[in-house]
């Protein structure tokens, strides 16, 4: 009798082990993907901070975007009604602020108010620099904007 119970348990062991491995793998995979909750939503552009040496709009056009919305969805990014052609990737990386802004946007970092090491998030046709809780710096068509998340 003992032998039969032991045999049944040994047969169930591979199934149990497989279930445990699958469960752990899915937990690790979901933990490896950063949550999008901090970015997905509607943001308001509150202030023009600075611009690159080369921009695709002028100061007046940039100022006209203040008060407009930035909508970040899992599949689309829209700034003031203009949508990016590609879906966002949400690739996150930490960078030395001064070097990263200088090399990627040809601009100084002084007016942006970002930390020395900044978390940059690649969106479809733009980037967001995490400034604080519900606060980012958005790089759009050569200009940097402060953006605050709407509740």
Residues 94 and 142 occupy one common structural domain: yes
For residues 80 and 29, membership in a common domain is answered with: no
pTM: 0.75
Q: Can you give the residue range of the structural domain that contains 9?
A: 1-33
pLDDT in tens, 60-106: 999 999 999 999 999 999 999 999 999 999 999 999 999 999 999 98
Between strands 117-122 and 91-96, the pairing is antiparallel
Helix (H) or strand (E) holding 63: helix 59-64
Nearest to 47 by CA among 68, 20, 16: 68
Say if residue 52 is in the same domain as residue 79: yes
CB of 26 closer than 8 Å to CB of 49: no
pLDDT score of 151? 85
Q: For 6-59, how does the pLDDT look when each residue is reduced to its tens digit (9 = 90+)?
A: 455 556 545 544 434 444 444 444 443 456 788 999 999 999 999 998 899 999
Domain count, the chain: 2
Whole-number average pLDDT of the chain:
83
Per-residue pLDDT reduced to its tens digit, 126-141? 899 999 999 999 999 9
Residues 15 and 68 in one domain: no
């Amino acid at each position: 009798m003992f032998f039969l119970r032991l045999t049944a348990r040994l047969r169930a062991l591979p199934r149990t082990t497989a279930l445990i491995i699958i469960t752990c793998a899915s937990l690790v995979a979901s933990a490896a993907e950063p949550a999008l909750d901090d970015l997905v939503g509607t943001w308001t552009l509150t202030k023009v901070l600075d611009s690159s040496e080369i921009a695709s709009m002028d100061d007046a056009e940039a100022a006209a975007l203040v008060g407009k919305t930035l909508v970040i969805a899992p599949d689309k990014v829209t700034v003031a009604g203009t949508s990016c052609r590609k879906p966002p990737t949400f690739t996150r990386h930490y960078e030395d602020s001064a070097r990263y802004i200088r090399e990627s946007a040809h601009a100084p970092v002084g007016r942006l108010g970002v930390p020395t090491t900044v978390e940059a998030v690649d969106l479809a046709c733009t980037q967001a620099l995490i400034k604080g809780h519900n606060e980012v710096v958005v790089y759009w068509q050569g200009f940097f904007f402060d953006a605050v998340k709407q509740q």
